[in-house]
Amino acid sequence: MKLRLSLTILYSALYFIAGAQQTITSSITHASIQRDYILYVPANYTGTTAVPLLFNFHGYTSNANEQMWYGDFRSVADTAGFIIVHPQGTVGSDGITHFNVGWGTSTVDDVGFTSALIDSISAQYNINQDRVYSTGMSNGGFMSFRLACELSDRIAGIGSVTGSILPATLTNCNALHSTPIIQIHGTSDGTVPYTGGAGWTEPVSSLVDYWANFNNCLATPLIENMPNISVVDGSTVEKYSYLNGDNCTEVIHYKITNGAHTWPGSIINLPGTNYDIKASVEIWRFLSQYDINGLINCGSIGLDEEVLIPSLSVYPNPTENTLQIEGLQDLKDLHKLIITDLSGAILFTTERVDKGIDVSELSSGFYIVHIKHSSGEASIKFIKR
């Protein structure tokens, strides 16, 4: 009770410091129930351009205001220009706020409420209907997975922090499109166990494997040890990337060794919180690459190899540090070499290659090397481990 009271006082104090003109408390009626929510509209919203919408669902016993501060995306939205909606769960017969993800006896239609809320917000704001995403903490993570299965025609991708998926939701999942998924979870989570709970929550490994398989990603993930920025938080982070899925989708899992049931990087420093990553930043960085059709511009960047230069090869592939080019008749006749990520963003360009290309600074993942030479052009995909 003391912790909840302290958090409530802090949230209230911070609320009045913030630019309240951008924070709107409102409600709609759905299935004869008044449903409340808090909307955050960044200052750079003009209404002239359609913007993404991010649902940010709170955890079991929590509320929309607490989630707005605890799992805070507002500073990210201020830069990236998207609208955030923080829905308020209903109160069950036990007096606890929740979203109905299949636990207990709740009959509240939270999937229908979410769809209705998209319609309501879209009637007031210029929302890009292809870029509606969902994320949340704990029960909010479960809710996001339920939406990925049951509201797939409206949800482009989801992120979950300390949440998981019910066995029944997984068994009956009816996602209609390849779905980018980012899962952040601590191995010492005492509320939603990392290894699962009989009958009510799947192990993290099971839900990650399910979505990687559903998306037709490569079965073996790339594993990256994240920098241990905070040496006093008692936890470290590994990033598992399941790549090359249909429509260029990926499944990302941040495994926080010794992490608790907390939101990494939160300004509310609860015991067991990891500070090597910021969950809000990582979730938006990942989801924002996609719309409901997959990776934005996936179909226009030539993922299939196009090699028009005889005997050209790029090796080693996968590579750790250096990419070698072999088969060009004369490197002096190279016009340009460009490395892009799968979205087409240019990361490196040169007009001269002597002893190979240093790719050690690239993060683990898939890239494309584009070569323009006097003998022809080529685009070849490679993996950086």
* pLDDT at residue 89 greater than cutoff 60: yes
> How sure is the predictor about 34, in pLDDT bands with cuts at 50, 70 and 90?
very high
Residues 336 and 238 placed together within one structural domain of the fold: no
Report how many domains make up the chain.
2
Residues 32 and 125 placed together within one structural domain of the fold: yes
Residues 49 and 185 placed together within one structural domain of the fold: yes
User: What is the percent of the chain with per-residue pLDDT over 70, rounded to a whole number?
Assistant: 89
The mean per-residue pLDDT over the stretch 182-194 comes to 98
pLDDT digits (tens, 9 = 90+) for 270-289: 999 999 999 999 999 999 99
> What are the distances in angstroms from CA 32 to CA 66, 111, 124, 166?
25, 15, 22, 27
Residues 305 and 235 placed together within one structural domain of the fold: no
Q: Which of 229, 264, 298 is the last residue of a domain?
A: 298
> How sure is the predictor about 369, in pLDDT bands with cuts at 50, 70 and 90?
confident
Residues 243 and 210 placed together within one structural domain of the fold: yes
pLDDT digits (tens, 9 = 90+) for 118-130: 999 999 999 999 9
The mean per-residue pLDDT over the stretch 354-379 comes to 82
pLDDT digits (tens, 9 = 90+) for 294-337: 998 775 544 344 444 556 778 888 888 899 888 766 656 676 88
Of the listed ranges 44-53, 327-336, 360-369, the least confidently predicted one is 327-336
Residue 365 phi/psi, 5-degree rounding, is 155, -170
Q: Which two tokens stand for residue 94?
A: 């036990």
Residues 289 and 309 placed together within one structural domain of the fold: no
Q: Does residue 237 lie within any of the structural domains? A: yes
Domain housing 109: 20-298
The pLDDT, as a whole number, for residue 305 is: 42
Q: Which of 239, 269, 298 is the last residue of a domain?
A: 298
DSSP state of 332: G
* pLDDT at residue 81 greater than cutoff 70: yes
pTM of the model: 0.79
Q: Does residue 56 lie within any of the structural domains? A: yes
The pLDDT, as a whole number, for residue 380 is: 83
Residues 321 and 187 placed together within one structural domain of the fold: no
Residues 321 and 292 placed together within one structural domain of the fold: no
Which CATH number fits the domain that encloses residue 328? 2.60.40.3080
**Per-residue burial over 167-182, b = 16 or more CB atoms within 10 Å of its CB, e = otherwise:** bebbeebebebbbbbb
The mean per-residue pLDDT over the stretch 336-359 comes to 81
Q: What mean pLDDT value characterizes the chain?
A: 89
Q: Which of 267, 298, 329 is the last residue of a domain?
A: 298
> What are the distances in angstroms from CA 175 to CA 110, 145, 253, 298, 329?
17, 10, 19, 20, 49
Which CATH number fits the domain that encloses residue 104? 3.40.50.1820
Residues 308 and 178 placed together within one structural domain of the fold: no
pLDDT digits (tens, 9 = 90+) for 142-177: 999 999 999 999 999 999 999 999 999 999 999 999
